[in-house]
Amino acid sequence: MNGGAATAIGFFRPGGSWLHRRNPLTKLLGLLWVLLAAFLLPPPVLVGLAAAALLLAAACGRLADVLRSLRIPAVLLASILVVNALFYPGGRDLLAGLGPFAVTREGVEFGAISVGRLLVAFVASVLLLQTTLPDDLLEALVAGGVSHRVAWVILAAMQAVPRLQATARTILEAQQARGLAVSGSLGRRLRALVPLVGPVVIGALVEVRERTFALEARGFGARRRRTAYRLVADPAIDRWLRLATVAGMVAVVAAAVAVR
Amino acid sequence: MAGQDGGGRPGMSPGARRPGLVVDGLAVRYPGRPVPALADVSLAAGAGELVGVAGRNGAGKSTLALAAAGFIPRVVRAAVSGSVRVAGLETGAAGPVDLVGRVGIVFSTPSSQLSGSKLTVREELAFGLENLGVPRAEMDERIDRTLADLGIDHLAGRLPAALSGGEQQRVAIASILVMGPGVLVLDEPTAQLDPAGMAAVADLLMGRAAGGTAILVAEHRHVVLARAARVAMLDAGRVVADGTPPQVLGPAIADRAGVEVAAVLRVAAAIGLDPSLAFDEGALAAALDRWAVDARPVPAASAPPALREIAWEPVRAQPSTGFRVDGLVHRYPGGVVALAGVDLAVEPGETVAIVGQNGSGKTTLARHLAGILAPSGGSVQVGGTSVSGRSIAVVARTVGLVFSDPDRQLFSRSVELEIAFGPRNLGLEAGTIRRLVDQALRLSGLDDRRTANPHDLTGSDRRLVAIASILAMDPALLVLDEPTTGQDAPGVARVGAIVDAMAAAGRTVVAITHDMEFAARHFGRTVVMRGGRIVADGPPAAVFAPTNAALLASTGLEPPPIARLAGRLGLGAPVPLTVEELLCRATSPAGASRRRGRVRPLTLTLPETPSSS
């Protein structure tokens, strides 16, 4: 009935793990490093990255939640694998024939690498979201020199997803209560989308207006030098970690250039 | 905006001479609208003064609130003439920082005014101070002082999103006041709250006025308006009356402006009592007692303009259908127990109002009737058939549930198409659908707006479209979730007419409501919920009897005003619920013998006390 508490903290799961205690900027840089490494370095590195991410999740007690969250991209990842396996252009090495379709080694490889990269990126992002309070990320970004308006937009985007999910659920129920059938043929399912999309869009617009009013009423439009109430810890270890991560990024780029 | 001195204009009270809010000759026209939203509006709220603004929906209350807070024209575009001054500053020329330090505004939806990202109420209050660049060292002191002034210091460490609506609204007010404005503007601050929340917000506003804040509050509810120093009545964008609450909210002015007349004012008018005493329940009861001794013929009390009665003719051949809920338990993911064992049997054709504070399980129960939720325990049977295991769309052939927020379901480009959506889903013939749509349009009073886009309608009309879209499915069991929220007096009367018509057609009607007068007037049975259980169940004349006052209070409710007056006169169950019934009972022989016996001791009958969660 009331998902208010859940949406307030976005995907954040309270806790006191090592990762929870890191400064959000450190985690953000870490995420960037993982993305660089996953997409620039040779594919075998992906295995190491994935193992490291899952180990970190386990060490912070987040493994079960992270694995559960994999349901979200599962269909996308599976379809990437299948489409590449069957339709990879320039695939020569035939592994199996399925009627008019041919599964090629190159296709399977490319699909697996793509899936691996997205998987690593997804797990790392989920770890960041689950261990970082959106507000702390905002304060850390502002402290790091990002305009607080830009930081607010990032925060709002992080919060929008769970809120939108809750809204969409209510809308679906309301339309089903008007006799809307959401199962059946593909055509029927597609037609059933119309009464769902309209209220979602209108609801989002109404919310934008309400939130604009609310922010204005709280002086958000005041062009003053902003002060911060919430203090985000930034221990010495975080500063060293960030230095190390930046060095790691340089190393990744250098290695990627060297390999090519 | 042309600044002129407001002294001597109509609507200025002596208190307004101290700095506060001064609106003078204000006119507002939104782009693309043929008629102005406000025309030549002048009023003032001085420091320490609470001024109410009444008026039916569309009369211009929200526009006045937005203009008073400087949101028009700075945030909302509109052509403006006349002047608005807050603490001596002309709002049209002022920047956001100057304005926020002088005037703050609070809207009706509590949750959407909070930043939505803060872990504690304390941080929520700090948000505005951060934007104003207040040094961190000063913040805690200002936050503590504001929370203490408003009497909500106990909320300081709570998660804002997990608070009740009434608590959230008080936090929203606090997070505006912490920025230090001397003028506070509120746009229907109690519209979304349950009765306990409304009372708490009203008390808080009285306290702030006493503390020196100038307050302008646009409202429908008498719980706030009756306590204002003055009330301005808006009608079609103009101030048609400005005076004390008893003057402005009495039948002479309010009935004409489409605003609900306080029942106590109707009583005062009927017995010839000075209306200024009417809001003092003790004084009114004493006067009524003296008046009744003379046992003169009962005068006709003034009544709100009645709607032409419109009938509902059943179109689909459906048997009259009741329902039966046995031991129903509902546990939400996360462990919150919303229903802790509910037993309720409703006969075909009954009308049932379900009341209780927010979180008592009312909406959860309604969703079970529509088959949206699966019971964690117990069973739900509609018309003798179990609901569980059937799809929502199949249950919808029998049960029509109107959700509380119309914006969660409207999507068509015309009212007509919107209303036809439901019957189409039922697979009815074109001719039948047309008949149902026409009938639903007529009953909900939307006949002249059938081609309008639902999203161009006012909030009350959108709610009526949502109700009509379920009526057109001709449900055997109609379930309404807070149908009168955000409705003005004509809107409430319209929803009441719909309930009456469906009941007359033999349909079963269930409504969740926070409006006790609505429950008493249109429903044969009142079910009171608290902490996921039913704690009282019976005809309103019994449930609202004085002996149940403590029970009702335990779930944040109080009997409607007439029943409360009857309680003060010592009239027991069946307690009168309308002005006429009250006057009759007060003068009847039974009433007289009661007076001879003087005050009857109040006995309290509480059903077995469940632990309220």
pLDDT in tens, A156-189: 877 777 778 888 888 999 999 999 887 777 787 7
The whole-angstrom separation of Cα B340 and Cα B203 is 32
Whether A135 sits inside 8 A of B119 (CB atoms) is yes
When comparing pLDDT for B9 and B381, which is higher? B381
Count CB atoms within 10 A of the CB of residue A251: 13
| Dist CA B276 CA B287 (whole Å) | 13
CB-CB: which of B69, B71, B396 is closest to A178? B396
CATH top-level class of B323-538 = alpha beta
> Do A215 and A237 fall within a single domain?
no
Q: Would an 8 Å CB–CB cutoff place B160 in contact with chain A?
A: yes
What is residue A9's predicted lDDT score, i.e. its pLDDT?
66
pLDDT of residue B295: 58
Segment B158-175 shows an average pLDDT of 90
Start-to-end CA span in chain B (Å): 54
Question: A106 and A21 in one domain?
Answer: yes
Residue B604 reports pLDDT greater than 90:
no
β-pairing, B79-86 vs B89-90, is: antiparallel
A162 and A96 in a single domain? The answer is no
Contact yes or no for A218 and B131 at CB 8 A: yes
Structure tokens at B361: 């399980």
Closest Cα in chain B to A211:
B112
Contact A228 B112 (CB under 8 A): no
pLDDT above 70 for B285: yes
Which of the four pLDDT bands, split at 50, 70 and 90, describes residue A212? confident
Q: Is A126 found in the same domain as A15?
A: yes
The Cα–Cα gap between B419 and B437 comes to 6
Is the residue at A5 inside a domain? Answer: no
Residue B613: per-residue pLDDT: 36
Name the most confidently modeled range: B2-11, B85-94, B147-156, B339-348: B339-348
- Chain A residue closest to B180 (CA)? A218
Which one-letter amino acid corresponds to residue A12?
F
CB atoms near residue B272 (< 10 Å): 9
pTM of the prediction? 0.85
From B346, B331, B335, select the one nearest B376 (Cα to Cα).
Answer: B331
**Mutation choice for B interface testing from A197, A218, A220, A225 by most B CBs within 10 A:** A218
| A113 and A172 together in one domain | no
Q: Which residues pair with B353 in a beta bridge?
A: B511, B526
Min Cα distance A229 → chain B (Å) is 6
Shortest Cα distance, chain A CAs vs residue B175, angstroms: 8
Is the confidence at residue B602, as pLDDT, over 50?
A: no
Give Cα A83 to chain centroid, integer Å: 23
Of B69, B131, B469, the CB nearest to A220: B131
Q: Determine which of B74, B113, B114, B115 to mutate to test the interface with A (most A C-beta atoms within 10 Å).
A: B115
CA gap A69, A11 in Å, rounded: 11
Same structural domain, A18 and A127: yes
With beta carbons less than 8 A apart as the criterion, state whether B185 and B21 touch. Answer: yes
Q: Which domain holds residue A102?
A: 11-132+233-260
The pLDDT, as a whole number, for residue B592 is 53
CA separation (Å) from B188 to B53, B206, B348?
10, 15, 37
* Residues in CB range of B322: below 8 A, 6 or more apart: B345, B346, B347, B348, B349, B350, B383, B477, B508
Predicted pLDDT of residue B230: 96
Residue percentage of chain B with pLDDT more than 70: 92
* Cβ contact B162–A202 (<8 Å): no
Give the Cα separation of A5 and B20 in Å (integer): 37
Residues A32 and A121 in one domain: yes
Q: Which H or E run includes B20? A: strand B20-29
When mean pLDDT is compared across B76-85, B104-113, B426-435, the lowest value belongs to B104-113
Looking at the complex, does the CB of residue B497 fall below 8 Å from at least one CB of chain A?
Answer: no
Beta-carbon separation of B409 and A171 below 8 A: yes
Are A122 and A17 members of one domain?
A: yes
Indicate if A80 and A160 belong to the same structural domain: no
Of B97, B116, B396, nearest to A8 by CB-CB distance is B116
Residue B597 confidence (pLDDT): 44
Q: Does B115 touch chain A (CB under 8 A)?
A: yes
State residue B325's pLDDT score.
97
- Does pLDDT of B12 surpass 70? no
Is the backbone peptide bond immediately before B73 cis, with ω within 30 degrees of 0?
yes
Paired with B53 in beta bridges are B218, B232
Nearest CA among B185, B103, B114, B191 for reference residue A211: B114
One domain for residues A126 and A183: no
What does the H/E/C string look like for chain A?
A: CCCHHHHHCCCCCCCCCHHHHCCHHHHHHHHHHHHHHHHHCCCHHHHHHHHHHHHHHHHCCCHHHHHHHCHHHHHHHHHHHHHHHHHCCCCCCEEEEECCEEEEHHHHHHHHHHHHHHHHHHHHHHHHHHHCCHHHHHHHHHHCCCCHHHHHHHHHHHHHHHHHHHHHHHHHHHHHCCCCCCCCCHHHHHHCCHHHHHHHHHHHHHHHHHHHHHHHHCCCCCCCCCCCCCCCCCCHHHHHHHHHHHHHHHHHHHHHHHHC
Topology agreement, domain B14-257 and domain B323-538: yes
Cβ pair B119:A220 closer than 8 A? no
Does domain B14-257 correspond to CATH entry 3.90.470.20?
A: no
The alpha carbon of B341 is separated from its chain's Cα centroid by a whole number of angstroms, namely 29
ipTM tops the 0.85 cut: no
Chain B, residues 316-345, CB within 8 A of chain A, namely 332, 338
Query: Are A90 and A185 part of one and the same domain?
Result: no
Task: Cis check for the bond before B245: say yes or no (omega within 30 of 0).
Answer: no
Interface of A with B in 166-225 (CB under 8 A): 167, 170-171, 173-183, 194-199, 202-203, 206-207, 210-225
Mean pLDDT of B47-66: 95
R_g over Cα of chain B: 25
Q: Is the pLDDT of residue B11 over 70?
A: no
Token pair of A95 as six digits: 């592994």
Q: Which residue has the tokens 């869009």?
A: A201
| Same domain, residue pair A123 and A16 | yes
Report which DSSP code applies to B22.
E
Strands B20-29 and B351-355: unpaired
Angle at CA of residue B478, ends B477 and B479, nearest 5°: 115
pLDDT score at B18: 58
Mean pLDDT of chain B: 89
B130 touches chain A (CB under 8 A): yes
Strands B525-530 and B103-106 turn out to be unpaired
Residue A112: alpha-carbon gap to chain centroid: 20
Amino acid at B481: D
The reported pLDDT for the residue numbered B98 is 86
Strands (E), B61-136: 79-86, 89-90, 103-106
- Compute the count of residue pairs across chains A and B with CB atoms less than 8 Å apart: 189
Residue A2 lies in a domain: no
- Please indicate, yes or no, if residue A145 is contained in any of the structural domains: no
**Which strands make up the sheet holding B79-86, listed edge to edge?**
B38-46, B20-29, B79-86, B89-90
Q: Do A216 and B71 touch (CB under 8 A)?
A: yes
CA separation for the pair A53, A159 (Å, rounded): 24
Listed in sequence order, the residues at least 6 apart from A243 whose beta carbon sits closer than 8 Å to its beta carbon are none
What residue spans define the domains of chain B?
A: 14-257, 323-538
B523: alpha, beta or left, given left = phi > 0 and alpha = psi -120 to 50?
A: beta
Q: Which B residues 260-299 touch A at CB under 8 Å?
A: none
Cβ <8 Å between A216 and B75: yes
Determine which of B97, B392, B397 to mutate to test the interface with A (most A C-beta atoms within 10 Å): B392
The residue among B112, B116, B132 whose CA lies nearest residue B124 is B116
Q: What is the mean pLDDT of residues B118-145?
A: 94
Q: Indicate yes or no: CB of B104 within 8 angstroms of CB of A217.
A: yes
For residue B175, pLDDT beyond 90: yes
Give the total number of structural domains in chain A: 2
B126 touches chain A (CB under 8 A): yes
